[in-house]
């Protein structure tokens, strides 16, 4: 077992623990903090996969923007320190069923996939992954359509937020 | 490579040779050398804070017509050390009802988020922790950990004032991240268009080492090409640190001390040190990204490059201290309006115009030649001046359109001795 594999196992274990804590901790702000830990560990997994750009973007977007707004909303809407409501509602068994089915499905697909046991090919150190990613995103033969669709979707959300917050006289 | 021109590489080579001769495995030697490098950089930052606090107190004192610390040691240099001893011997309190784990985690995260930035800062030729090819984005990412630290410090204290500080944190820090990132994109864009020039060593637009090397001459420093972006970055990074005039998160006269009200002793010292180190770090970043970093006459010797690095950084730090001591705190609605209605649109316009101008110039002239580079700098400067002029014109028109407020009453002197009775009309007693 190489050092990289040991690090990967530790990081994945931490990731799973934090993800589990997100849904089990009764205090909502603490759950959000565990969510930050989980997102950070996901970033570390990206680093282990030689995807530095994705790792950094993961931290900027998910921790820097989304998780902080999460905490902010929780702090504004709930009583600050003394919050321990029920954590489940009547549909908990349905959610559990779906998660089990999803987990089973993904495991089944991965077990049948022969790439699961192959080791990753070494990346050419001269390859500039950031430039490559950028050109692929605007390449008509590659990802320009999903990229533009996502942009339009985000723009629509932005305009929607303005319309919702608009104070009409 | 001699000790006096490049002590860091000299010592690293010497230690490596020593351990290789002792027959240690290569992987272990690499780990030890890397660890020592991290240790040196982190401790340089933390120890330099001691000097910075003294410096800032002296500067503030001079600007406010005082003497500042002058009792402990020569020029009061030992004052900060005395303060540190005092802080560490104070009682370490945790408030009733606080979330203990989170409460103790917050100061650590605050220091961590600042020290992590130093990993990508180029100190001199070859003196850089790691030249990440996404260095600029890394800085933004690490900065967001600092926001989380402030936020959880305010929340976990179980104190209304601390929580108010945390709310203000989100409003301010998340908002000012937007113009900061936009203004950082401009040097990235400028450096990214220089990756094709042979012999310059600019590998990617986003690495800080590459950004420094792209500003290889006095006419190619990014401050000349993007003065407005430098200004936006400087302003928004002061807001990110949360110093006057943007110190709403710890405004003493409004919310006592804001998010760190409940911290005492060593934990308060950590938050305090993190703030001062962050103030110096933004000076270093402004200098590295817009003023050519360690480059200057004689920078082929790393020690001279490091001297340039320190001199330039301290000049920018002087500006930061100057702003802090002379400007009053900005009101919260003004602070948000200034960000969303002024800085962000301006940064967007600058980004688009810089991209257009650079594309046209790079296609028209050969920027690997001196003349081409000067043409490029001049055209960017002209575009910036045009945008600055247009911005000022728009602001003037809007100010003229704004209804002027009528004064409620005319000013009158508060305390004046009663005027002596005029003797012209009065009958003589």
Q: ipTM of this model?
A: 0.78
Residue B145 in this model has a pLDDT that exceeds 80: yes
C-alpha distances out from residue B311 to B119, B210, B306, B317, B325, Å = 20, 21, 9, 10, 21
Mean pLDDT confidence for A5-34: 86
Q: Encoding tokens for residue B93?
A: 């309190």
d(CA B117, CA B120): 6
Which region, left, alpha or beta, applies to residue B75 given φ > 0 means left and ψ of -120 to 50 means alpha?
left
Closest by CA to B88, choosing from B257, B260, B270, B277, is B270
pLDDT of residue A82 exceeding 70, the answer is: no
- Above 60 in pLDDT, residue B340? yes
Q: Which pLDDT band, with edges at 50, 70 and 90, does B268 fall under?
A: confident
Give the percent of chain B with pLDDT over 70. 97
Residues 47-106 of A with CB under 8 A from B: 52-53, 56-57, 59-60, 63-65, 67-69, 71-72, 75-76, 80-81
- Is the per-residue pLDDT at B429 higher than 60? no
pLDDT at A150: 92
Q: Which pair of tokens denotes residue A49?
A: 């996969």
Tokens matching residue B388? 């600055």
CB-based contact, B166 to chain A, within 8 Å: yes
Which H, E and C letters describe A109-161, residue by residue?
A: HHHHCHHHCCCCCCCCCCCCHHHHHHHHHCCCCCCHHHHHHHHHHHHHHHHHH
In angstroms, the separation between the Cα of residue B167 and the nearest Cα of chain A is 7
**Tens digits of residue pLDDT in A85-131:** 677 788 888 988 999 999 999 999 888 887 767 777 777 766 777 77
The string of pLDDT tens digits covering residues B169-182 is: 778 888 888 899 89
User: Any idea which residue has 């110039």 for tokens?
Assistant: B361
Q: Give residue-wise pLDDT tens across range B373-390.
A: 888 888 889 999 999 999
**Helices B160-169 and A68-77 sit at what angle, rounded to 10 degrees?**
140
What are the structure tokens assigned to B327, written together? 């400007």
User: Could you read off the pLDDT of B98-128 as tens digits, one per residue?
Assistant: 778 888 888 998 888 888 888 888 888 777 7
pLDDT-based confidence at A54, cuts 50/70/90? confident
Dig out the tokens for B320 from the structure. 């930061």
Q: What is the pLDDT of residue B101?
A: 84
For residue A33, which residues of chain B lie inside 8 Å, CB to CB?
A: 102, 152
Q: pLDDT value at position B427?
A: 56
Inter-chain contact A29–B155, Cβ cutoff 8 Å?
Answer: yes
Stronger pLDDT, B184 or B26, i.e. the higher one: B184
User: How much is the average pLDDT of B285-308?
Assistant: 84
A158 and chain B in contact, CB less than 8 A: no
Q: What is the pLDDT of residue B183?
A: 92
Taking Cα atoms as reference points, which of B389, B160, B131 lies closest to residue B262? B160
- Which residue's entry shows tokens 């605050």? B110
Please report which confidence band the pLDDT of residue B156 belongs to, taking 50, 70 and 90 as the band edges.
confident
Question: Helices B370-401 & B344-364, crossing angle to 10 degrees?
Answer: 150
Tell me chain A's radius of gyration from C-alpha atoms: 20
Residue A167 and residue A147: Cα distance in Å, rounded? Answer: 32
CB B184 within 8 A of CB B140: yes
Is residue B28 pLDDT above 70, yes or no? yes
Within chain B, how many helices (H) and strands (E) appear? 16, 2
Considering only the beta carbons, identify the residue of B102, B174, B206 that sits closest to A33: B102
- Least Cα distance to B239 among B344, B138, B154, B156 occurs for B344
Decide if B7 contacts B14 (C-beta within 8 A).
no
Residue B24 backbone dihedrals phi, psi, to 5 degrees: -80, 150
- What is the pLDDT, as a whole number, of residue B422? 67
For residues B72 and B52, what is the distance between their CA atoms, to the nearest angstrom?
A: 16
> What CA–CA distance (Å, rounded) separates B253 from B378?
46
Q: Can you tell me the distance from the alpha carbon of B327 to that of B334, in angstroms, rounded to the nearest whole number?
A: 14
Enter the tokens of residue B177: 């991240």
Which residue do the tokens 């950031």 mark? A130
CA distance A61 to chain B (A): 8
* CB neighbour list of residue A43: distance below 8 Å, 6 or more residues apart: A55, A56, A58, A59
| Confidence check: pLDDT of A157 > 90 | yes
pTM (2 d.p.):
0.85
**% of residues, chain A, pLDDT over 70:** 91
DSSP B170: I
State the pLDDT at residue A59: 87
Whether B424 has a pLDDT exceeding 70, the answer reads no
pLDDT digit string, tens, across residues B200-231:
777 777 788 888 888 888 788 888 888 999 99
What's the whole-number mean pLDDT along residues B328-355? 89
Distance, in Å, from the CA atom of B367 to the CA atom of B192, rounded to the nearest integer, reads 13
| Per-chain mean pLDDT for chain B | 84
DSSP assignment of B308-323 equals HHHHHHHHHHHHHHHH
């Amino acid at each position: 077992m190489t050092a990289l594999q040991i690090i990967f196992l530790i990081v994945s274990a931490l990731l799973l623990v934090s993800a589990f804590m997100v849904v089990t901790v009764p205090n909502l702000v603490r759950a959000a903090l565990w969510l930050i830990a989980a997102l950070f560990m996901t970033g570390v997994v990206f680093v282990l996969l030689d995807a530095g750009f994705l790792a950094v973007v993961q931290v900027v977007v998910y921790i820097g923007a989304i998780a902080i707004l999460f905490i902010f909303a929780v702090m504004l809407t709930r009583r600050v320190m003394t919050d321990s409501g029920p954590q489940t509602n009547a549909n908990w068994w349905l959610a559990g069923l779906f998660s089990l089915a999803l987990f089973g499905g993904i495991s089944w697909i991965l077990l049948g996939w022969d790439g699961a046991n192959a080791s990753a090919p070494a990346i050419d150190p001269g390859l500039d992954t950031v430039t490559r990613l950028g050109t692929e995103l605007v390449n008509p033969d590659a990802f320009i359509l999903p990229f533009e669709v996502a942009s339009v979707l985000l723009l629509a959300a932005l305009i929607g937020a303005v319309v919702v917050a608009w104070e009409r006289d | 490579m001699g000790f006096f021109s490049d002590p860091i590489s000299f010592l690293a080579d010497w230690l490596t040779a020593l351990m290789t001769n002792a027959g240690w495995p290569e992987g272990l030697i690499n780990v030890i050398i890397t660890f020592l490098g991290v240790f040196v950089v982190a401790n340089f930052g933390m120890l330099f804070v001691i000097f910075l606090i003294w410096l800032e107190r002296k500067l503030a004192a001079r600007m406010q017509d005082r003497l500042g610390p002058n009792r402990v040691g020569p020029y009061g240099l030992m004052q900060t050390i005395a303060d540190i001893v005092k802080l560490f011997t104070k009682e370490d309190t945790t408030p009733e009802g606080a979330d203990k784990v989170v409460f103790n985690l917050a100061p650590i995260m605050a220091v961590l988020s600042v020290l992590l930035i130093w990993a990508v800062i180029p100190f001199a030729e070859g003196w850089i922790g790691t030249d990440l090819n996404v260095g600029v984005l890394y800085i933004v990412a690490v900065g967001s950990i600092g926001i989380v630290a402030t936020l959880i410090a305010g929340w976990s204290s179980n104190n209304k004032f601390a929580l108010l500080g945390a709310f203000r944190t989100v409003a301010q820090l998340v908002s000012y991240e937007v113009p900061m990132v936009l203004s950082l994109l401009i040097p990235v864009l400028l450096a990214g268009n220089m990756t094709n020039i042979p012999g310059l060593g600019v590998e990617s637009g986003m690495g800080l080492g590459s950004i420094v090397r792209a500003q290889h001459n006095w006419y190619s420093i990014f401050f000349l090409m993007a003065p407005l972006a430098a200004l936006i970055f400087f302003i928004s990074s002061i807001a990110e640190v949360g110093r006057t005039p943007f110190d709403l998160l710890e405004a003493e006269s409004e919310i006592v001390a804001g998010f760190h009200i409940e911290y005492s002793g060593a934990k308060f010292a950590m938050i305090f040190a993190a703030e001062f180190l962050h103030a110096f770090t933004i000076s270093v970043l402004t200098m590295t990204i817009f003023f050519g970093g360690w480059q200057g006459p004689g920078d082929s010797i790393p020690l001279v490059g490091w001297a340039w690095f320190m001199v330039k950084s301290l000049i920018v730090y002087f500006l930061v201290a100057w702003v802090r001591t002379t400007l009053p705190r900005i009101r919260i609605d003004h602070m948000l309006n200034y960000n969303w209605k002024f800085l962000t649109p301006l940064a967007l316009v600058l980004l688009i115009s810089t991209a257009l101008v650079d594309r046209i110039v790079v296609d028209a002239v050969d920027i690997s030649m001196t003349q081409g580079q000067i043409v490029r700098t001049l055209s960017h400067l002209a575009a910036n001046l045009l945008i600055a002029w247009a911005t000022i014109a728009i602001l003037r028109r809007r100010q003229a359109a704004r209804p002027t407020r009528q004064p409620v009453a005319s000013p009158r002197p508060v305390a004046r001795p009663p005027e002596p009775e005029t003797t012209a009309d009065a009958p003589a007693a």
